Amino acid sequence: KSVEPDAIKQRQVFRFKHKKYWCAGIMDIVCFDQHDKWKKFSLYKHIGVEPYAGQILWLKVWWTNCNPKLVTSYYLEACRRAGGIPLITQSDLGTENYGIGNCHTATRQRLDPSLVGTLQHRWMKGINIKPEAAWLQMRRQFSPGFENILDNGVAHGLYNVDNLVEKLVFLWLAIPWLQAKLNAWVHHYNSTPRRCDKNKIL
C-alpha cells in the first residue's frame, strides 16, 4: 500500500483492464527489468523475459543491478545460449539499460544496414508489463521462504547489515547460493507448460 497506493485502489474497485499484447512471434522481443525488493539485504535482481514463449532468459542476483556493463553481459550470455538476437529489446527508462539498448541496436544495424539511423530498443515508461508479471510470480512462488531465512538471520544477530565486513562476507556466501536456487526455479518455471490460450496465434 505504501509503494503503489493508486494501484491498490484500482485493484480494489476492479478498474484493471485487459489489453492485447502484440508480438510477432518467438524472439520478436526481449523485455527486461530490475528488482530492488531485497535492497535491505544489499541484494538486487535482474530479469530478461521472452514474452511470446513465456520463457525467462535470465534471472540474476548481484550486489547491484545498476551497472550497464553487468546488465549487458546478462543479455549477451542469453543471446549466446539462444544462438541469436531478438528483433527488439524493451525496458523501463534508466541509465542501467543503455548498455543493452546500445549493444542491441549496434548489432542489429551491423546485421541489417537498412536499420542504420534507427533505434532497435523500445523504452517503456511504467508499462513494461511482461517482466513485472514475472516478478509477481517470483514474489509469490520463490521469495517468501528465502526472505524468511534472510530476515531470521538479521533478527537473531547473525548478520549486521551496518557492519561492512559482515556485509561483504554475507554477499560472498549468499549470492552463489541464491543464484543456484534462482537457476533451479527458472528451470522449473521454463519447464512448466503454459496454460492454453485460444487468443494466442502465430
Average pLDDT over residues 140-166: 88
Question: Is residue 74, in this structure, part of any structural domain at all?
Answer: yes
Task: Determine the Cα–Cα distance for residues 165 and 157; give it in Å rounded to an integer.
Answer: 14
Contact at 8 Å (CB) between 128 and 7? no
Domain residue limits at 52: 23-191
**Cα 35–96–162 angle (5° rounding)?**
55
Question: Is residue 10, in this structure, part of any structural domain at all?
Answer: no
Question: Is residue 98, in this structure, part of any structural domain at all?
Answer: yes
Question: Is residue 183, in this structure, part of any structural domain at all?
Answer: yes
Q: Does residue 155 register a pLDDT over 60?
A: yes
Question: Is residue 50, in this structure, part of any structural domain at all?
Answer: yes
CA distances from 112 to 51, 83, 106, 127 (A): 24, 17, 10, 29
Could you read off the pLDDT of 108-147 as tens digits, one per residue? 999 999 999 999 999 987 666 788 888 888 988 988 889 9
Number of structural domains, the chain?
1
Question: Is residue 11, in this structure, part of any structural domain at all?
Answer: no
Burial class (CB in 10 A: 0-12, 13-18, 19+), 97: buried
Question: Is residue 13, in this structure, part of any structural domain at all?
Answer: no
Average pLDDT over residues 20-42: 87
